[in-house]
Amino acid sequence: MEPPDSAVTLYGEFTSTGNRRVRYAVSLTDEELIFQRLTSSSTVQRNKTRLSLRDCVGSRAHSGEDESDHAAYFTAYFYPLRRRWMSPGTCRQRVEQSFRLAALQDPSYNLEEAEKWAREVRERSARLHAPRDELVLKEPAHRRVMLLVNPQSGRGQALSLYNSHIQRMLQEAGVAHSLVITERQNHARELVREMSLVQWDALAIMSGDGILFEVINGLLERPDWEQAIRTPLAILPGGSGNALAASVHHYSGSTPVSSEELLLSCGFLLCKGLVSRMDLVSIHLSSGARVFSFLSLAWGFVADVDIESEKYRHVGAARFTVGTLVRIASLRTYRGRLAYLPAALDNCNDQNNLQTSWPVSNLYSFKNGCSISELNSCHSNNSNNREENIRHSNLSGPGPTDSLLPPLDQPVSSNWVVVPEEEFVLMLAMYQSHLAEDLFAAPDSTLEDGLIHLTYVKAGISRTALLRLFLSMEKGAHLTSNCPHLFHTKVRALRLEPQSPKGIITVDGEAVEYGPVQAEVHRGLARLITG
């Protein structure tokens, strides 16, 4: 047998848990657990199995269940990326690796040895995920997570998915968690608004995107919102859309996967506990209310499909496909006025944020502060000073100040762009990459780019062209499809004034009051567990 290589700092010879005659040489390096079956014949070379400690969520030791068994056992749990069966790409698959340690007749010695191995595996695995900065959760054994599950989300399967996958994963990682099953709408919002947060290291949400919306808004309604919104949040997909879960999975560099595979991917990230900053968008509604959004603001086709497809909920994620086909068959257009503050014109220094695919000839930029409603009768106020033009919308209540938004009934500033079109099929503002598991709507959006990715489709698009757009959205190719009816740009703030008497506006997939609405992005305001 070849000697252990120099990177190996722990070595042992153990037996299989199922068959004591099968022996293994087991090595631990800073990066891998390596094992190889030992044979009596030195001519037989068995392949080494290597498991990366980056893929390990936890490890534990225990003594034999039977009193006559003097051995101890050590088990490590891995979720490596493996090739998918019968389909392209990779996904995380569970691997449980156990060994039986019985070097001496003394059970306590064997247990000590097994505990040493389990501890080394845990510590080395944690070191490989050392924080990029201060954003990392406490080690699993000291971590306390509140897990909110909506039993009604999606096809009503969130609780059974928790029982079948997440509970076991968290146990394997040694993460203590308290389960809260939401009982009604706004339950999660009220709970996080009132409760003490100091005892929790993270709030995890297993549902569609609706409960996360409630949690974010509940946190921002607290008097201590500035601290509260820094509570790390985690998303585990349990709904039918699962847009944020799909986005987080995409940001971790992984390829698209099925719903169950997405759950394992997000569960793995929760066990690892790396935290990133996440943009939130402050949205002013016509009633004067303000809500905070982490995903999208939609009007027209996308909002209609989202809400009207609720009745096809029983088919899961396919509800959006069914809804899209139904709505395309009876295509509607909407009148309205749209204006935005381009990221390119903003004072931000981030050069990456300054690109826009907007054709310059399509821009109608005001010289002076002017509301969209006043588009055709705007009077000059002869001021080019942006600071002077902006009268901040000082909505009362907690949460950050919106420095880019004037009150909804006041003109937008002179550095805003007013879209010349007034007849639309859809307006979609995104701040994450995915609108649903298979809708890669804003391909270059990242968690904390400080941007609203604004897309609209103007009236006149054929049904076939619209269908083609949605089909290409699965791969994020719609933005490069050269569709003359589709426009896309990156903005910091926007205002929409619908003029069609009826319609649907959604925020994060939930319908909100229909009427004028405006939005401003707050870069990195929240915290999210990611990869």
Helix, strand and coil in the chain, % to nearest 5: 30, 30, 40
CB of 210 to ligand ATP, least distance (A): 2
Cβ closest to ligand ATP, residue 241 vs residue 406: 241
Q: Is 209 a catalytic residue?
A: yes
Question: In the bound complex, which residue of the shown chain has the CB atom lying closest to ligand ATP?
Answer: 208
CB of 155 to ligand ATP, least distance (A): 8
Cα distances from 457 to residues 153, 208, 237, 508, in angstroms, run 30, 27, 29, 19
Q: Please tell me the total number of residues recorded for the chain in this structure.
A: 531
Name which position in 63, 153, 231, 530 contacts ligand ATP (CB under 6 A). Answer: 153
Q: DSSP alpha helices (H): ranges in 130-208?
A: 158-161, 167-173, 187-194
CB of 391 to ligand ATP, least distance (A): 34
Contact status: 27 vs ligand ATP (CB under 6 A): no
Among 178-186, 376-384, 453-461, 488-496, the segment contacting ligand ATP (CB under 6 A): 178-186
> Is residue 490 within 8 Å of residue 469, measured between CB atoms?
no
CB of 215 to ligand ATP, least distance (A): 10
Contact status: 184 vs ligand ATP (CB under 6 A): yes
Give the CA count within 13 Å in the CB-facing half-sphere of 104: 9
Name which position in 267, 406, 411, 509 contacts ligand ATP (CB under 6 A). Answer: 509
The rounded distance, in Å, linking the Cα atoms of 301 and 508 is 15
Contact status: 12 vs ligand ATP (CB under 6 A): no
The rounded distance, in Å, linking the Cα atoms of 239 and 11 is 45
Contact status: 185 vs ligand ATP (CB under 6 A): yes
Nearest to 76 by CA among 59, 63, 57: 59
Name which position in 211, 302, 405, 418 contacts ligand ATP (CB under 6 A). Answer: 211
Here the contacts of 441-445 (C-beta below 8 Å, separation 24 or greater) are 441/296, 441/473, 441/476, 441/478, 443/476, 443/479, 445/247
> Is residue 507 within 8 Å of residue 283, measured between CB atoms?
yes
CB atoms closer than 10 angstroms to residue 481: 14
Contact status: 316 vs ligand ATP (CB under 6 A): no
- Give backbone dihedrals phi and psi of 214, rounded to 5 degrees, phi first: -65, -45
Name which position in 12, 140, 174, 208 contacts ligand ATP (CB under 6 A). Answer: 208
Among 28-36, 130-138, 180-188, 264-272, the segment contacting ligand ATP (CB under 6 A): 180-188
Contact status: 399 vs ligand ATP (CB under 6 A): no
Name which position in 30, 106, 123, 183 contacts ligand ATP (CB under 6 A). Answer: 183
Cα distances from 66 to residues 62, 280, 340, 414, 471, in angstroms, run 12, 54, 70, 79, 58
Size of residue set near ligand ATP by CB under 6 A: 23
Q: At what angle do helices 187-194 and 209-220 cross, to 10 degrees?
A: 30
Contact status: 207 vs ligand ATP (CB under 6 A): yes
Catalytic residue among 201, 209, 304, 346: 209
Cβ closest to ligand ATP, residue 128 vs residue 159: 159
Q: What residues act catalytically? A: 209
State the residues that interact with ligand ATP by CB under 6 A: 150-154, 182-187, 207-211, 214, 239-242, 509-510
